[in-house]
Amino acid sequence: MRMRWALGLWLALWPWLVSAQALLTHVDQRQSTSLDGDWHAIVDPYETGYYNYRRQPYDAQPGGSTAAFYQDHHAQDKQELVEYDFSASPTLKVPGDWNTQSERLFYYEGTLWLQRRFEAQAADTQRRRFLHFGAVNHRADVWLNGHKLGTHVGGFTPFNFEVTALLRLGTNSLVVKVDNTRHADAVPTLSTDWWNYGGITREVRLIDEPQVFVQDFALQLKKGSLRTLAGFVQLSGARPGEAVTLQVAELGLSRSAVVNDAGLAAFEFEAPTTLQRWSPRSPRLYEVTVTTAHQSLRDRVGFRSIEVRGGEILLNGEPQYLRGISIHEENPRRGGRAHSAADAAQALGWALELGCNFVRLAHYPHNEHMLRLADQLGLMVWEEIPVYWTIAFDNPATLANARQQLSEMMVRDRNRASVVIWSVANETPPGASRNAFLGELVRHARSLDDTRLLSAALETHDEQGVTVVDDSLGAQLDVVAFNQYRGWYGGSLHDAPQARWAVRYDKPVIISEFGGDALQGLHGSRDERWTEEYQEYLYQQNLRMIERIPNVRGMSPWILADFRSPRRVLPGIQDGYNRKGLISSQGLKKQAFFTLREFYRGKQAQYR
């Protein structure tokens, strides 16, 4: 088989690469030092550490000021006035949210400074160093040894800064100003139905790289093919003509190329007939290795195709029914933002026990452990950005930030075979500005990746007793998805199976949400709201109704487990939790869990 330069592929990939040139991927495979652990914290609701009393930022003043918290300054004598001290301040765990680590911070929204000192070795002229953050919610301003590295806005996607020239031999001071204040023009916006956890919520690493290093690479089945593999390698610091080799040893594949002026080499070649494609029944992963004269980088990658044909969703050419569940990034047993491999194993283990082959990671990109474990377990994934409810659709800056978060999510997870659907929005009200906003996100997503399906959770409306799905955005999507809450936010459960539906697209349909609340352990009749019996009856009747909706090829009911929400205040029932979970905030299964599991067993037998 002959490798050839794929100029068309390079041109298609270029917008994707430009949007993410600074982002390092495959961070688990890189030489790095963890900076997780205890960080000193200063709560700063007035932002005293950044502004003087006239609300002027310290970094705008000539020479700055030792009063700025990012200077991490200590008094040089007993006369000097210094009104903060990280070393004497309490600590918080990183990764972790501050809300559940300190009772006094439970409802806190605002600025909190986090500081950690770490040791660095002598500078090596042949090496480059990067600080990588898995996620910080929501805005992060970062300083190293008093020097501003930059700002990142977006609470669920990774970012990094090169710090080669700023590291000191010996002790270094890293300070992060974290601000989880909600804003009307932010993504997400002011109003959500989940907890606004503040903090450095995912891992922090100091990454060590050679002068020329593999910044990113990807390999997957080309759109429309079950045998053609296509991908690229992106080098940083390389001169044109630098050689790279891409290998899949288990398939006997090894291809070499040289990079162009942008440090990019594109690949396209045929896989042997021995290629085993990834699927829920057989989640086969191959080790893909990229080698240069300077380093090797590896990833475990599955190869599969996902496409639609009329009302069908086809995985590797075979029709699928997506037996799903929606999941928030929260550990219900301990409370707080989920972030670890153990957290991922708990959530996805429950999904498998439920009989799922599909999960919807709502309403934002989850941590990378979730995607990598989904790869291993054979769970298909819907991944989305937090364009949720009433975004400032007329604001160009809001659109730019949504595009940024979409790019960072897709760049991080494009090698994950489990990801079959990118979603650009949830429950957004149709209108001209919203349609233009989401249309731009759809176009941007397709420019980054044409091999996966695009969707969004749409809304419905009523026409003379018929529930209609005809949101104009649906014309631009591969899969039409919508949320419906019959029996909870209106509509009768008793006649739900007779409900009339009209879906005005000949496309696959996913019911992206349905459900109702129940307090685990509260029992009564099936007509008594908040009881397990009511929730169970709601599932029984909705499942009967959904079976009659045209082109339904999957669902992701709301939701796997109870999760915290300040909107949910009913004493003795909600107590600050959305109780629509099939599993309680103590990790106990409700009766509806078993109703859905039985339904999924039937679907599994039907779609073998």
What are the C-alpha distances in Å from 7 to residues 10, 235, 558? Answer: 5, 17, 44
Going across the sheet that includes 466-469, the strands are 461-463, 466-469, 500-503
- Could you tell me the pLDDT band of residue 10, with boundaries at 50, 70 and 90? very low
Q: What is the mean pLDDT of the chain?
A: 93
Segment 524-578, tens digit of pLDDT: 999 999 999 999 999 999 999 999 999 999 999 999 999 999 999 999 999 999 9
Decide: residue 141, CB within 10 A, 0-12 exposed, 13-18 middle, 19+ buried.
buried
Here the tokens at position 480 are 């039409």
Share of the chain above pLDDT 70, in %: 96
CB atoms within 10 A of CB 395: 16
Residue type, 495: D
- Looking at residue 245, what is its pLDDT? 97
Segment 258-269 shows an average pLDDT of: 96
Q: Among residues 114, 104, 111, 100, which one has the least CA distance to residue 195?
A: 100
For the chain, helix, strand, coil in percent to 5 are: 20, 30, 45
Distance CA 212, CA 263 (A): 10
Domains of the chain in start order, with CATH, are 7-21+211-304 (2.60.40.10), 37-202 (2.60.120.260), 316-606 (3.20.20.80)
- Three-class DSSP labels, 432-484: HHHHHHHHHHHHHHHHHCCCCEEEEEECCEEECCEEEECCHHHHHCCCEEEEC
Pair 566, 576: CB distance under 8 Å: yes
Q: Among residues 206, 201, 70, 32, which one has the least CA distance to residue 132?
A: 206
Segment 324-372, tens digit of pLDDT: 999 999 999 888 999 999 999 999 999 999 999 999 999 999 999 999 9
Decide: residue 343, CB within 10 A, 0-12 exposed, 13-18 middle, 19+ buried.
buried
Phi, psi (degrees; rounded to nearest 5) at 181: -60, 135
Counting every residue written for the chain, the total comes to: 608
Here the tokens at position 417 are 């075979």
CA angle (481 as vertex; 314, 415 as ends), nearest 5: 50
pTM of the model: 0.94
Distance CA 597, CA 325 (A): 11
Whether omega for the bond prior to residue 188 falls within 30 degrees of 0, making it cis, is yes
pLDDT at 519 over 70: yes
Q: Among residues 330, 338, 307, which one has the least CA distance to residue 320?
A: 307
Distance CA 392, CA 443 (A): 19
Q: Among residues 33, 49, 53, which one has the least CA distance to residue 41?
A: 49
Segment 492-502 shows an average pLDDT of: 93
pLDDT at 420 over 80: yes
**Rounded-to-10 torsion of CA 352, 356, 360, 361:** 0
Segment 232-251 shows an average pLDDT of: 96
Segment 14-36 shows an average pLDDT of: 73
Q: Among residues 254, 248, 264, which one has the least CA distance to residue 216?
A: 264
pLDDT at 312 over 90: yes
pLDDT at 16 over 90: no
What single DSSP character describes residue 272? Answer: P
Phi, psi (degrees; rounded to nearest 5) at 563: -140, 160
CA angle (570 as vertex; 179, 527 as ends), nearest 5: 135
pLDDT at 5 over 50: no
Segment 142-158, tens digit of pLDDT: 999 999 999 999 999 99
pLDDT at 11 over 80: no
Task: Taking each helix axis as running N to C, give the angle between helix 591-606 and helix 532-546, from 0 to 180 degrees, rounded to the nearest 10.
Answer: 20
Strand partners for 583:
561, 589
Find tokens 């042997």 and name the residue: 272
Residue 285 neighbours by CB under 8 Å, 6+ apart: 278, 300, 301, 302, 375, 376, 417
Segment 424-467, tens digit of pLDDT: 999 999 999 999 999 999 999 999 999 999 999 998 999 988 99
Residue 349 neighbours by CB under 8 Å, 6+ apart: none
144 alpha-carbon distance from chain centroid = 27
Task: Please report the beta strands in 53-154, taking only residues with DSSP state E, as ranges in sequence order.
Answer: 91-94, 111-120, 127-133, 136-137, 139-144, 147-153
